[in-house]
Chain A
Amino acid sequence: MSFESALVIAGAIILSVGLYYSFMIVSILRKQNMAIAWIVLTAMIVFFLLAFVLYALQTLGFITLTIPIESITAFVFFFGSIFVLILTVVNSRLFIDLFGIRLSDKEAILKFAKFIDIHPFFLQSRMSPEYTITCDACGKNVKYSIPDIVRSHPNLERGVKIEEAMGTVNYTFFLRHRCEGAIREIPVTHDEKFEYRSKRASRIL
């Protein structure tokens, strides 16, 4: 067996393990209706695996392919680049979701005002004030502002819950905080004047 054949067989084994994990990811994401990108990636892994197997069988002399080996390599290179592109886009979305997006305070306030449907003028005074709460897990003080909440939740629907009850409006912000090697989400409730009112138990994301 040539060195190239051994390398390709080892690659195929590694790809098989990757395929197992990608199936796992698809099954998790399918429940959230977010699996499309990973279904494409899984299909590409299957394609690579087939190409690897064909390449190995050809170099070992078990089969003779009518397609030149250079064409298979070119296909693997091309689809490999698409694979990397999809993976980086998916990962960038994941990291934005986890760690937030870059927005200035003003941009964040504008986004928040649009989301809660009030004129940004009423939120000008809320640009800088920082609220401080104590994390129930690590016991440390956690400072945050409304722009921080907006930055940490590119999809604001997941970061802000608006509740109208008993003649008043309550805003629950899902504050993200890194502690003890994990990211925690602490639900904090603010009244209609955006004054801090209460917090609930945190959970690990």
Chain B
Amino acid sequence: MNVEKINELTGYVIPIGNGAVGKTSLARVMSNFTSDHRNYGHLLNGVSKTKNLEFEFIPTTLRIADKPHKVLIQMLVPPGQKEDAGDQNSRSFNQVMDIFQFYIKRVDVILFTYSLTSRESFNDLMFWQNAIHEYVNEATHFILLGTHKDHIENIEVTEEQILKGLDYLEGEVKKNLPRWVGKCTHLEVSNLTGENFLKLFAYLAGAIFRSRKIIP
């Protein structure tokens, strides 16, 4: 009997960005995603402010050169709160990253998450880029991920701005890590309708595969 050998990979993905841009919703929709479903509103209703590091384990598959790969995406969702707001039950991004620094040994993909309906959340990615750079390695991949794609009438972030932001991000990463060989790309999704999630899965699985190939 000819049994096809399946390679297994685990990749660590961190979505970062301002609060309420849809990081937690993204992870939740990803873990429940099915290609025939078109509305994930029921999953988004119960989403509240992230107060600590949240985990989602999302299995997916990838075929490269006709070889199947099983990729387990481990999503680590930190809070979008920049500073300690004085709430004892709520931690800021920096506090969470300090607490879990021994757990987060490597990051394969960083999702710079912003809402397409908030120019401010896009501009603030500059802050997040500075906040995350110590967790980045030469093989880390970056995705500029715009959410709320379904809010067509309220979109504030233009494609031109996204492309310029991508150039800026790439330049900053190269400045901090001259030997960086990862990739930067952008994608716009809708957590509500699941639009472009198949692309996101492919991007993430591909990025994890590539990252693990560069640094095993």
A130 within 8 A of B: no
Q: Which of B124, B125, B156 counts the most A-chain CB atoms under 10 A from its CB?
A: B156
- Roughly how many angstroms separate A163 CA and B120 CA in the complex, as a whole number? 10
- Roughly how many angstroms separate A197 CA and B155 CA in the complex, as a whole number? 9
Give chain B's interface secondary structure class. Answer: helix
Check if B168 sits within 8 Å of A167, measured CB to CB.
yes
Bin chain B's interface residue count.
10 to 19
Return the CB mask of B115-140 against A: 1 if under 8 Å, else 0: 00011001111100000000000000
A201 within 8 A of B: no
Check if A198 sits within 8 Å of B167, measured CB to CB.
no
Check if B164 sits within 8 Å of A167, measured CB to CB.
yes
Check if A197 sits within 8 Å of B119, measured CB to CB.
yes
Residues of chain B within 8 A (CB-CB) of A191 are 158, 161
B206 within 8 A of A: no
- Roughly how many angstroms separate A198 CA and B156 CA in the complex, as a whole number? 6
Tell me, rounded to whole Å, the shortest Cβ–Cβ distance linking A66 to chain B: 65
A165 within 8 A of B: yes
Q: Which of B118, B119, B158, B169 counts the most A-chain CB atoms under 10 A from its CB?
A: B119
A71 within 8 A of B: no
Give chain A's interface secondary structure class. Answer: strand
Tell me, rounded to whole Å, the shortest Cβ–Cβ distance linking B171 to chain A: 8
Known: A189-B119, A197-B119, A198-B119. A166 touches B158 (CB 8 A): no
Tell me, rounded to whole Å, the shortest Cβ–Cβ distance linking A185 to chain B: 17
Check if B156 sits within 8 Å of A166, measured CB to CB.
no
Check if B123 sits within 8 Å of A165, measured CB to CB.
yes
- Roughly how many angstroms separate A168 CA and B167 CA in the complex, as a whole number? 10
Check if A168 sits within 8 Å of B156, measured CB to CB.
no
Tell me, rounded to whole Å, the shortest Cβ–Cβ distance linking B129 to chain A: 9
Contact among B124, B156, B169, B171 for A197, CB-based, below 8 A: B156
Return the CB mask of B130-162 against A: 1 if under 8 Å, else 0: 000000000000000000000000001010010
- Roughly how many angstroms separate A189 CA and B123 CA in the complex, as a whole number? 12
Residues of chain B within 8 A (CB-CB) of A197 are 119, 156, 158
17 contacts between A and B (CB under 8 A): A163-B123, A165-B123, A165-B124, A165-B126, A166-B126, A167-B164, A167-B171, A168-B164, A170-B119, A170-B123, A189-B119, A189-B156, A191-B158, A191-B161, A197-B158, A198-B118, A198-B156
Q: Could you list which residues of chain B lie within 8 angstroms of chain A, going by C-beta atoms?
A: 118-119, 122-126, 156, 158, 161, 164-165, 167-169, 171
Q: Which 7 A-B pairs have the closest CB atoms?
A: A167-B168, A165-B123, A166-B165, A167-B164, A198-B156, A198-B119, A165-B126
